[in-house]
Structure 1
Amino acid sequence: MTTTAPPPATPAAAPAPAAAPTGPADRGPRARWRRHRWWLLSVLVLLLVGALIAGIPGNSAYYPLDPRSGSPSGTRAADQLLRQHGISSRTASGTEELSAALGADDTTVVLTYPDELAYRHVAELSALPRGARTRLVLIAPEQPLLNAFAPGVSSSSYSTGSSAALAPDCELPEAVNAGAAALGGPSYEGRPGDTACYPSGGRHTLLSRTRGDQQVVVLGNGDALSNQALDEEGDAALALGLLGAHPHLVWQTLDRTPTAPSGTEDAKDLGDYIPDGWSWGTLQLAVAGLLAAAWRARRLGPVLTERLPAVVRASETTEGRARLYRRAGARGHAAETLCRAARRRTAAALGLPHTTGDPDPAALTEAAAARLGRPAADLQHLLYGPAPADDAALLRLANDLDDMEWQVRQP
């Protein structure tokens, strides 16, 4: 039995030489297809993406919340309704135009992009005397803007979204008349005496502060003013109430907005004069570059970390960052960093809680004023005031903060 097994094995192995001719066949059309099929599939995907993009309509010539824009994110509908009610409306983009608008009487100024203003421009605008019977509407402002135009109002990074309508739950006439509205975005908390509306998550998405005949209104976002949301819930009534309180209305627009007659969106820029073939060719090259980058990125290994060969002292890091701030002229950012650190250290020295960020402004200023015997308004201006105008003012601010901290820490 064991001796007869080897002979059948040799006939079974005989077809092996016949497989040798298949080697050249593998280098024929089938092998070339296997070798180049990924490139062909990439070209087909590129053509498909180009065809899909060709069917997408062009974007609006204006930014969101622009009163000249008829796109879903624009505010032309609200602006036209206000015009029909006898409100004169215009736009302002530069600092000079905004300064004139803030100083005019019987005027509502809407800062649709307040955080686009430079720190020095914010300081200039907040220091200007406001006109009589005016209202300033801030849309989604960050903390530096609140410190300048509404000191004592704190913002939260918690976003409520904008899908569900919120009840006003306040006594502000505009909110009471409007009823439920789809407000969202960041939430805010003010001082005693401020009117807070549309609560969500323990804070409010609309806050109003009135001092005499001047009023500041803070909105979490401007979705309720947009064209797409104006017919939902009480958004239209809220928009008319907030923006139609005075005979004149001024919208802030960005300097990069194309110059076009009011109410039109057919303004042309340089891209309109480039032939379509060049545009699609450039787009295809960009998509091909992205596909090639994604293809090559698969060959990259994991990110490796290694320890630095030398220890960098904290003082050198601080000096280097200070030089960068000075070179960039970011006095406002540097001042806010100094004030924020001083507020937290002072709160710790006074035993105030600040586990979620900055301590409560009113509690901090009152506790520090009681400890130092100084007016609370002086400490409010020191800890939450506008950005310094020059380097000398920034140096004085740093010295004043050091003196205040030293005095607070004295027994």
Structure 2
Amino acid sequence: MTSTAPAPPAAEPPAAEATPTSLAPTGRRLVRRARWYLVVLAVLLVAAVGIAVLNRGHRYAPIDPRSYDADGAHAVVALLEHQGIRTGLSTDPAAAANGADTLVLPEPDLLSPAQLRAIAAARHQRLVLIAPGPVALNALAPGIRPSDEDGGVPFAPVQSTHPDCVLDEAVRAGSASMGGMLYTSGTRGDGCYSRRHAYPLVSTPSGGGDVIVLGSAQFLRNDELAKDGNAALALGLLGSQPRLTWHLPDYTAPVLEGTQRKSFGDYLPKGWHWACYQLAVAAVLAALWRARRLGPVVSENLPVVVRAAETTEGRARLYRRAKARGRAAEALRHATAHRLAPALGVPLQAGAPEPEALCAAVADRLPERPAGDVRALLYGPPPTDDAALLRLADDLDALERQVRNP
């Protein structure tokens, strides 16, 4: 009777080594996290392109007689033509001045000195200057100056103002929306719509006609023409002669030297600084409100007790992944110095032992180790590779054992 020997137990397959799981975000994970931000950005780009395509039509500058927009001036030109006034547009101010009874010059500061001299020498019944600077005033309206040159305020907000002057056109129109740059009337001029002892409208004789200086042309806008006496004032100033030429400024031309340049604050609405103060107060109140809602710090027990060895290993893996050998070496040396100081009777200063005192104490305890070698071990340069870091850990452990058991 043959007995069958039991088969040897099958060898268990070797356990697969646990592969470390990387916590660093991958490209796919980053894209997945940011997909909604990318969708919103794409929608905004498509909307911006669509708006740009829809609004790519020609846009005119403010107070342009060809513009039907709210800030254009086509309505006043249409009213003048309805009353029989012949109107025209020109890009050459010198040629326009020779063939016009009334010449309107928006932005006269964009004209060159030669152009200003040609306009001053031309024969016209009325010249209307809109917001001129000192250089244009000296050439076309001598005697009239910006009010800030005499210590006055340079600007005034546009609002309904009574004329309070003897100019026929202003008296017939009554109150109008006037403001903007302010001027002095000089000895021969008449100022209207007084604002702080200066005027946004000044009339002065010049040759065989007169010059009208306007601090702002807002009353000529399409959306302002029906308010107060704006339409009557516009028709009176621009329709006194049978022919009117409106100069179209070249906004690419440089500004004349000596002309007052507007700063960024000039374009901000009045009282903007009070709005900034209110926003600052609101931010402080919001911070106080959130601080009250957070309440005091509440201490809670850890849900799981983690062994110190696991914490040490986890921190070591982080150091290794970041290749922070210097930081790891600093932690090892700091811990060794803190353990050696009480054993050698070296006091702690600011939470750490004095390096010179600690090295001297170790050298006294271990005569075979010079103080320089101890200092190089405890406070030397960081290791350059992992092998040097391991040697440093072994040397620190050996030094601590020798100090405790000399």
From 41, 45, 56, give the equivalent of 2:41. 45
Partner of 1:300: none
Partner of 1:130: 123
Instruction: Classify 1:60/1:198 alpha carbon distance in 2 versus 1 (closer, same or farther; 3 Å).
Output: farther
From 59, 62, 66, give the equivalent of 2:60. 62
Partner of 2:131: 140
Which residue identity does 1:159 align to in structure 2?
Answer: F
Offset, 1:84: 0.8
Offset, 1:60: 4.1
Q: Do structure 1's residue 110 and structure 2's residue 110 form an aligned pair?
A: no
Partner of 1:152: 143
Partner of 1:235: 230
Q: Unaligned regions of 5+ residues in structure 1, if any?
A: 1-19, 258-328, 338-411
Offset, 1:123: 2.5
CA distance in 2, matches of 1:213, 1:72: 36
Partner of 1:372: none
Structure 1, residues 90-121: CA drift from partner, whole Å, max 9, x if none?
111114423423xx5xx111002211211222
What is the TM-score with the length of structure 1 in the denominator?
0.51
1:60·1:71 contact (CA, 8 Å) conserved in 2? no
Instruction: Classify 1:50/1:144 alpha carbon distance in 2 versus 1 (closer, same or farther; 3 Å).
Output: farther
From 74, 77, 101, give the equivalent of 1:76. 74
Offset, 1:129: 4.2
From 184, 190, 213, give the equivalent of 1:218. 213
Instruction: Classify 1:165/1:89 alpha carbon distance in 2 versus 1 (closer, same or farther; 3 Å).
Output: same
How do 1:307-318 and structure 2 match up within 5 A?
none
Offset, 1:181: 1.0
Instruction: Classify 1:23/1:119 alpha carbon distance in 2 versus 1 (closer, same or farther; 3 Å).
Output: farther
Instruction: Classify 1:190/1:22 alpha carbon distance in 2 versus 1 (closer, same or farther; 3 Å).
Output: farther
Structure 1, residues 41-87: CA drift from partner, whole Å, max 9, x if none?
26623532541562464454432222222111221110010111110
* RMSD of aligned residue pairs (Cα, Å): 3.1
Q: Secondary structure of 1:232's partner?
A: coil
Q: Unaligned regions of 5+ residues in structure 2, if any?
A: 1-17, 149-153, 260-406
From 188, 197, 204, give the equivalent of 1:193. 188
Partner of 2:249: 254
Partner of 1:350: none
Q: Secondary structure of 1:184's partner?
A: strand
Offset, 1:141: 0.4
Which residue identity does 1:144 align to in structure 2?
Answer: V
Offset, 1:26: 5.0
CA distance in 1, matches of 2:164, 2:236: 16
1:78·1:240 contact (CA, 8 Å) conserved in 2? yes
Q: Do structure 1's residue 180 and structure 2's residue 171 form an aligned pair?
A: no
Instruction: Classify 1:178/1:22 alpha carbon distance in 2 versus 1 (closer, same or farther; 3 Å).
Output: farther
Instruction: Classify 1:223/1:60 alpha carbon distance in 2 versus 1 (closer, same or farther; 3 Å).
Output: farther
What is the TM-score with the length of structure 2 in the denominator?
0.52
Structure 1, residues 339-380: CA drift from partner, whole Å, max 9, x if none?
xxxxxxxxxxxxxxxxxxxxxxxxxxxxxxxxxxxxxxxxxx
Partner of 1:98: 96
Higher relative CO (CA 8 A, sep ≥ 6), structure 1 or 2? 1
Which residue identity does 1:150 align to in structure 2?
Answer: A
CA distance in 2, matches of 1:110, 1:247: 14
Q: Do structure 1's residue 120 and structure 2's residue 127 form an aligned pair?
A: no
2:110·2:250 contact (CA, 8 Å) conserved in 1? no
1:113·1:253 contact (CA, 8 Å) conserved in 2? no
Q: Give me the identity figure in percent.
A: 35
Instruction: Classify 1:120/1:203 alpha carbon distance in 2 versus 1 (closer, same or farther; 3 Å).
Output: same
CA distance in 2, matches of 1:21, 1:165: 81
Q: Secondary structure of 1:74's partner?
A: coil
Instruction: Classify 1:58/1:239 alpha carbon distance in 2 versus 1 (closer, same or farther; 3 Å).
Output: farther
Offset, 1:169: 1.1
CA distance in 2, matches of 1:51, 1:210: 55
CA distance in 2, matches of 1:226, 1:44: 39
Which residue identity does 2:123 align to in structure 1?
Answer: R
Which residue identity does 2:107 align to in structure 1?
Answer: Y
1:138·1:216 contact (CA, 8 Å) conserved in 2? yes
